Amino acid sequence: MKIGILTGGGDCPGLNPVIRAVVRTALLNHEEVVGIRNGWKGLVENETLPLDAKAVSGILHRGGTILGTSRTNPYKEPAALEKLKKNFKNIDSLIAVGGEDTLGVAAKLFKEGFKVVGVPKTIDNDLSGTDFTFGFDTAVNIAMDAVDRLHSTAESHRRIMVVEVMGRHAGWIALHSGIAGGADLILIPEVPIKIDEVTESIKKRIARGKNFSIIVVAEGAKFDGNEVTLEKKLDAFGHVRLGGIGELLARRIEEATGFETRVTVLGHVQRGGSATAFDRVLGSRFGQKAVELVRKGQFGQMVALKANEIVSVPIETAVGKLKTVDKAFYEMARTFFG
Ligand code: F6P
């Protein structure tokens, strides 16, 4: 049996542990694994590399993906899709590691009869069907560390610090890093920003003698009902490049409170470098289970974490509806605001 594996979409810590686990599990049964370079692009262009024990040796702690990645959407171009389908014949089955976009393609291919298994990946943690995706824990820890560090400089200068973190549609990173780092306010895409409430809460803190504040804001948080974007151009999956909410917020806060305000945009730092132990273990468990699904012929399924068990769910479950922050969790976080 020849198993293909690709990693698509934005990279994240934990991808290499998944690749390593897939290869190590497959080799136990003398199955062959082929790496497909740069996501769906590699299957269109037939760019592959053999993955043996040597190829995955020493990659567990490495960030990124040894296979490379892209945001190529083969369903955008009929000719590319035809080439992909032709090249699919060179493998028996495929493990697609990715987020909503990559898995969306996987779900469509499965419907057309291709043997695909999914592995959920995104630092945003916004895929349904799984309690957590790998990469999220690492991103949260990086953001928490930044919030911790910003405390001392905020306090020394009596400033407001706005920290912009990733999270396109969901505020999981903002919420987890904000709670863990003791942020005074957390703003997420699911809850529209009311600028008066923001400035009021800062003023109340100042009145209590707290002359600094830390605000964590997700890049996808909406201002006047709109996302703040860096450019209007859409990628192959129809997403705009987000960015700028931190800067916008800081200007409005400074105007309203008179307090010096600074912005830190964490950006891709949250996706770089090696994974936490949690993400390495989750990635390893996902990779092992993905091969098991292939062996059992359970295609169209995605590996998932449910109540600390590794299970499988239809890929459709993950891509049908994004998992956003629920109201109750945000309300809990409010306890620590101000
Ligand atoms: O989807 C994961 C993510 O990191 C989002 O949080 C962010 O909006 C986006 O990817 C950034 O994408 P790119 O790497 O293309 O700038």
> Which residue's C-alpha comes closest to atom 15 of ligand 1?
10
Cβ-based neighbour number of residue 69 at 10 Å: 25
pTM (2 d.p.): 0.96
pLDDT score at 30: 96
Tokens of 284: 């390893």
Q: In ligand 1, which atom is closest to the CA atom of 71?
A: 15
Ligand 1 pocket, residue 167 CB under 6 Å: yes
> Which residue's C-alpha comes closest to atom 12 of ligand 1?
10
Question: How far is C-alpha 108 from the chain's CA centre?
Answer: 21
List the domain boundaries for the chain: 2-135+275-320, 136-272
User: Is 287 in contact with 18 (CB distance < 8 Å)?
Assistant: yes
Ligand 1 pocket, residue 69 CB under 6 Å: no
Distance 248 CA to ligand 1 centre (A): 20
3-state secondary structure string across the chain: CEEEEEECCCCCCCHHHHHHHHHHHHHHCCCEEEEECCCHHHHHCCCEEEECCCCCCCCCCCCCCCCCCCCCCHHHCHHHHHHHHHHHCCCCEEEEEECHHHHHHHHHHHHCCCCEEEEEECCCCCCCCCCCCECHHHHHHHHHHHHHHHHHHHHHHCCEEEEEECCCCCCHHHHHHHHHHCCCEEECCCCCCCHHHHHHHHHHHHHCCCCCEEEEEECCCCECCECCEEECCCCCCCCCEECCHHHHHHHHHHHHHCCCEEEEECHHHHHCCCCCHHHHHHHHHHHHHHHHHHHHCCCCEEEEEECCEEEEEEHHHHHHCCCCCCHHHHHHHHCCCC
- Testing ligand 1's pocket by substitution, the residue of 7, 69, 124 carrying the most ligand atoms inside 8 A of its CB is 124
- Testing ligand 1's pocket by substitution, the residue of 100, 123, 134, 229 carrying the most ligand atoms inside 8 A of its CB is 123
pLDDT score at 231: 87
pLDDT score at 301: 98
Considering Cα of 325, then 326, then 329, then 335, what sign does the dihedral take?
A: positive
Q: Catalytic residue positions? A: 124
Distance 99 CA to ligand 1 centre (A): 11
How far CA 38 is from CA of 106, 275, 301, in Å, comes to 15, 20, 22
pLDDT score at 232: 83
CA dist 101 and 241 (Å) reads: 15
Regions of the chain where pLDDT drops below 70: none
CATH 3.40.50.460 is right for the domain spanning 136-272: yes
pLDDT score at 265: 98
Distance 59 CA to ligand 1 centre (A): 23
Ligand 1 pocket, residue 127 CB under 6 Å: no
**Overall CATH class of domain 2-135+275-320:** alpha beta
How many Cα atoms occupy the beta-carbon half-sphere of 100 within 13 Å?
A: 18
In tens, the pLDDT along 15-70 reads 999 999 999 999 999 999 999 999 999 999 999 999 999 999 999 999 999 999 99
